[in-house]
Amino acid sequence: MSRFARVTSIDVLETLAAAVQKFRAEAASAMDDLDIEMRRGLEWIHHDRKEYWAHELRRSEESVTQARIALQQARVARRVADHEPACVDEKRALERAKCRQETARRKVEAVRHWTHAVDHAVDECQRNRIQFLAWLQDDLVKAVAALSRMSTSLESYIQLEAPTADAARVLGPETSSAQGGEVSPKDPRSSGGSRTAAPALEGPNEVPRPAQAADPPPANAEPTIDRKEIGP
């Protein structure tokens, strides 16, 4: 992956840093809310549902016992000789009590099963939550600090004085043609061995044009900096 970026606005770095800070705060708040909701879920299934259905199972067992006693009493009270009384109402009440008892028993078993499943899921979620919080508190903080350093470095960089436009146009070889004059490194008219361009007169009244420097830029010359590329 490239380690370079084409930055056209320093303000974008500040905007990005602010967005990262906002995301970090909102994500941390969401993780706190998630922790609260998980604790509520554990409280609901470990205590509320467990105690409720255990109580319902005990009540249903008592109802079955009472329904059986009522049926037995009705049979004894209504027996005539060897005739077995129907006791329809008592039998229906006993069946309803048994149905409630079976329902409560299934619910107790379901609560036991889902308690283990929820505990496992919460443990997995908590591990991921802790890793995410560590990333928020470590990596994102470093990212914001890096963006701040980049912004400061670029602010300092654009304060440097850029080369002049005339110096930026000096890109030709040692001997080149420049607007009607020939640049010669051995021009006898140059004083002190300096290299100048010989002006060419195009007419009797023409004023000689100033010669351009013919020396090529040094090998270690700084590249031309276009301030529009890195700043507003």
- What confidence tens digit (pLDDT) does each residue in 152-202 have? 888 888 887 555 555 555 545 444 444 444 444 444 444 444 444 444 444
Structure-block tokens of residue 116: 């283990």
pLDDT score of 83 more than 70: yes
Taking 3-state DSSP, the helix, strand and coil percentages for the chain, each rounded to the nearest 5, stand at 65, 5, 30
pLDDT at 221: 44
Higher pLDDT, 189 or 95: 95
CA–CA dist 89, 10 (Å, integer) = 86
CA–CA dist 44, 140 (Å, integer) = 35
pLDDT at 192: 43
pLDDT at 223: 47
pLDDT at 160: 77
Q: What is the pLDDT of residues 27-63, one digit of tens each?
A: 999 999 999 999 999 999 999 999 999 999 999 999 9
Mean pLDDT of 17-36: 94
Q: How confident is the model at residue 77 (pLDDT cuts 50, 70, 90)?
A: confident
Q: pTM of this prediction?
A: 0.55
Higher pLDDT, 54 or 204: 54
Higher pLDDT, 111 or 172: 111
Mean model confidence pLDDT for the chain = 76
Higher pLDDT, 206 or 37: 37
Number of Cβ atoms within 10 Å of the Cβ of 174: 11
Higher pLDDT, 225 or 45: 45
Mean pLDDT of 75-96: 85
pLDDT at 151: 87
196 touches 190 (CB < 8 A): yes
Number of Cβ atoms within 10 Å of the Cβ of 171: 10
